[in-house]
Amino acid sequence: MAHNLFPVVPDTGTLKAARLATEITGNPGRWVRLDCQHLRHVQQPVEAGQELECPTCPPSVGGALPSHRVLGRGPERRRRAWLDAGPQAPGKAGAFAAEAVTYAGPISLVDDAGRMASELVASALRHTDAPVELTVDAGGDMVRIEVRDDDWTAPGTGKVVSFELREARSGN
């Protein structure tokens, strides 16, 4: 099926291919989960149950990629995590945000979202020892990152810092 659709760039389902395809075609595509539990990127519409090659599974002896079925549920648009205060928190925040944006898009903001989440959490942890709540709202052409530090020993004194990233659409 889908023989009528020719991707403009090789659609190998990897993060690198997804970025290249987005740059060239302006089509962000989307991520789907396969029944081997790996994510792969698609530029063309696919339906649940359809078989796609998985770029993450080990190839067969002959070098062919194994096919797996597309699972039905789409990614959550909003994800939330609690991070314990500590030196690893900014790094965890960055990884969490990058993964959330990898699932929900836009793919061009994965790196910026990770960096921003990491910075916001690092800055929140300069004035609290309490865990911070990180919310990543991603989808469409934007990502919103919110960091809340609510010190339960002094309720109501917590601060919320948020930042929005929007996909750049250059006109040239």
Among 15, 36, 95, 142, binds Zn ion (CB under 5 A): 36
Shortest reach from residue 54's CB to Zn ion, in Å = 3
Between 50 and 56, CB nearer to Zn ion: 56
Shortest reach from residue 168's CB to Zn ion, in Å = 32
CA–CA separation, 60 and 54 (whole Å): 11
Contacts of Zn ion in 43-102 (CB under 5 A)? 54, 56-57
Among 38, 80, 144, 148, binds Zn ion (CB under 5 A): 38
Between 41 and 124, CB nearer to Zn ion: 41
Between 57 and 70, CB nearer to Zn ion: 57
Shortest reach from residue 148's CB to Zn ion, in Å = 36
Token pair for residue 11?
């659609």
Residues making contact with Zn ion (CB under 5 A): 36, 38, 54, 56-57
